[in-house]
Amino acid sequence: METKPTSVIELMQLKERAQALLCLSFCKFSVPTAFCEMKIVTGFILQQKRMKIWMDGDLKRKGIHAYGGDNQLNRGEESSFEAIEQSRVIIVIFSHNYASSTLCLKELVKILECKVSEKDKYEVWPIFYDVNPSVVRNHSESYKYALMNHESSNEKEVSEWKKALTLAGNLSGWDLQNTTNGKESKFIDIISKEMFNKLIDGPIPAGDNLVGLGARAEQMNLLQFMGSNKVHTIGICGIGGIGKTSFAKAIYNLMYKHFEACSFCEDVKDAVNRNGLVYLQTKLLDDIMKDVDQTDLNISSVGEGVRMIKSMMQGKKVFVVLDDVDNPNQFEALAGDLDWFSPGSLIVVTSRERQFLKANHIEQVYEIDPLNDVEARELFNKYAFKDKHPQDEFIECANRILHYVDGHPLALKTIGSSLFNKTLHEWEHEIDNLQSSPNVLIHQVLRRSYDGLDAAQKNIFLDIACFFKGEKKDFVLKILDVSESFFATNLSSS
């Protein structure tokens, strides 16, 4: 149970520890289970503490763990500076009593020194919680009196602190009152989404205008796979164009820094068709064994490739993503057995078929669902209106398209792009065309899912598509005269 301060001295000590600093780091800290650690301490005020709890929880659900919780308030200046140096994105939470803490001010100077010395490495995002940015920038109101109090014992440092506050007050950030009219939950949601999108902007381009990835990361609880003493496997499945590859790239960009070596094998099916399995085995080993001479990776056969992967993967905690795998031979040649990998390694596999992932003993399988109505509208507007609010006369047409597409990301992007800057008459004409013949690009992507079915699955699919669309499953089973198990095996996997 938390104890209340019993004296003015204790109260001042608590305020001194109330550092309004949040460091989003891509580096390893002492806590092995965290994959993206931060330091969040938002102050002594009750409302600020509540905000810290909400922000901590919201970020954690997205796979971002808060470094510096309540049990880490005593870490001190040295460890705070270390956390700052090892971070990429630093969020400073300004409150009305921020300037009363000398440690907060010292940290702010350190943060801005890092930003100035290595501009490309650090980003600083201020949050103005219960104070106007102009108060911070101009050292007025509570900041004026706090700095006056410091001058008696820290005269030399006060001038540095004033410069740092002025610079920080001019940085682009978030103002609680102006952003969401003081609504904390909505405010935190906006911030955490921007953080998540920033963090997934890693070494692999995940695409522009990503929508809904944060919510899907919450479902996966990625933190459970960090710091483990075993090899974990994750499967991501869904129909063509639903966003499996984009999501796998986002996961890779979030987590790659926490492994000794990583490899992202994109579009395995197509790569094998064009270049063969040996090519992919060589790429995998080349990514993992950066320090090995290329001449030592001369693989003559798939069998030799398997032997080399089993030998070279040992002793390294690796992160491997195999994207769009559709054949057991592909999986067996690249990650056929968990014994190939050292404890703490993580293997992510994407496939259109859930059953394929289960058959290859993938530990946890996540299905990518279509976007919900809010997400679908947001994504469509990004392409059809370039984020601008649609004019009233286009809303009905937009609603018809959203209903037709039913949350499919690729279709939303493709159709939205084709309608950008078009007249209302052209929109209506395009909608009529969609009713009679689908977009060629969308048809090609979805056709790959159909082509992957066997003859029996294709017959069932066509029967349902032509005669039973929208009917209840039990009714369809009875009419088609197939069992529940047959239905589950032949339809749910596709």
Catalytic residues: 107
State whether residue 60 is helix, strand or coil: helix
Contact indicator for 200, 254 with CB cutoff of 8 Å: yes
Residue tagged 């004019």 (tokens): 391
Tokens encoding 198: 């920033």
Radius of gyration of the chain (CA): 27
State whether residue 34 is helix, strand or coil: coil
Task: Look at residues 267, 253, 266 and name the one whose alpha carbon lies nearest to residue 205.
Answer: 253
Contact indicator for 20, 45 with CB cutoff of 8 Å: no
Q: What CA–CA distance (Å, rounded) separates 127 from 125?
A: 7
Maximum Cα–Cα distance for the chain, whole Å? 88
Contacts of 66 (CB under 8 A, 6+ apart): 22, 37, 38, 39, 40, 55, 56, 59, 60
Tokens encoding 283: 């790429």
Contacts of 166 (CB under 8 A, 6+ apart): 137, 138, 139
Distance (Å) of CA 398 to CA 208, 372, 376, 387, 412:
21, 15, 11, 14, 10
Tokens encoding 360: 């290859």
